[in-house]
Structure 1
């Protein structure tokens, strides 16, 4: 019985050994670097400019408020030795309240900015994924990866995707 199993296993192994290289030659893999798309694609740059325009006024107000708060704290430090105890406590409470208000506004600003940034980047990513699919279908890729530890540069199709994405605008 052993003699029957061994030849058939050997035949199967031989067939697989000869068919895998043929299959591997037809299998095309591509790679897309999404970080580069977010940095270099015109739609990503436009989204970044839109966000900067949308949030620049609030950011300037926060920076002005921070500078004013720092000025008040510095002034308080200089004048504290000459103030009465009640004046010192009142000014200290006032600075603490203003600082608390500033921190709340800063946190709200950061949350709003992050939410809008995610919305804009999601739109860019959706467009990029459509382009990746088009490129993959046109060039007959079997698999396109977006994350990898290492990728041979010959498999990187990021430039093609960025060109197509910029042309699609």
Structure 2
């Protein structure tokens, strides 16, 4: 009798423990596609437009210099057979100086553009993360994963929250 009671108690305890662990594993999971979110929120286009406006004058200056370099190279190729050695050397020096000037202006501009872009995207990322947290809390999700970092997910068990996040971020 005592042995039967112990066995029954162990079975009940095991059943309760299994029920608890199954319940602990059954939680609500959402997933977000960050690339889709960045592509669809209007703030991304606004950042691009802001940066284009902010750096347009300097970009135009570089594009003009690049056009001038191309013109001088074509001139050199076209007229080299009829030019004296001194003329060839002078034009070649001019082209080299223009290319050097282009590199000296282009690299810092490119770095500055990337830095500004990273600053603006960091702000947008904070907004997106806040929206993800809000959507997760509103939907009582226990966990939200990034789609790119997930090898597999069952679409029947995991909800894609990207659309809701885009909607929320678009309102801000």
TM-score range, shorter chain: 0.7 to 0.9
1:105 Cα offset (Å): 1.7
- Counterpart selection for 2:161 from 150, 157, 164: 157
Instruction: Tell me if the contact between 2:62 and 2:106 (Cα under 8 Å) persists in the aligned partners.
Output: yes
Q: How many residues align?
A: 161
Structure 1 stretches of at least 4 aligned residues deviating more than 6 Å after TM superposition: 8-13
- Provide the secondary structure at the position in 2 that maps to 1:155: strand
Gapped regions of structure 1 (runs ≥ 5)? 1-7
Using the size of structure 1 for normalisation, the TM-score is 0.82
Match of 1:109?
109
Summarize the Cα distance change of 1:22–1:64 in structure 2 as closer, same or farther, 3 Å threshold: same
Equivalent in the alignment of 2:98: 98
Deviates more, 1:77-86 or 1:66-75: 77-86
- Normalised by the length of structure 2, the TM-score is 0.81
What is the CA distance between 1:129 and its match in structure 2?
0.8
Q: How does 1:51-70 map to 2 (within 5 A)?
A: 51-70=51-70
Q: 1:166 aligns with which of 150, 167, 170?
A: 170
Q: Which structure 2 segments of 5+ residues have no match? A: 1-8
RMSD: 2.4
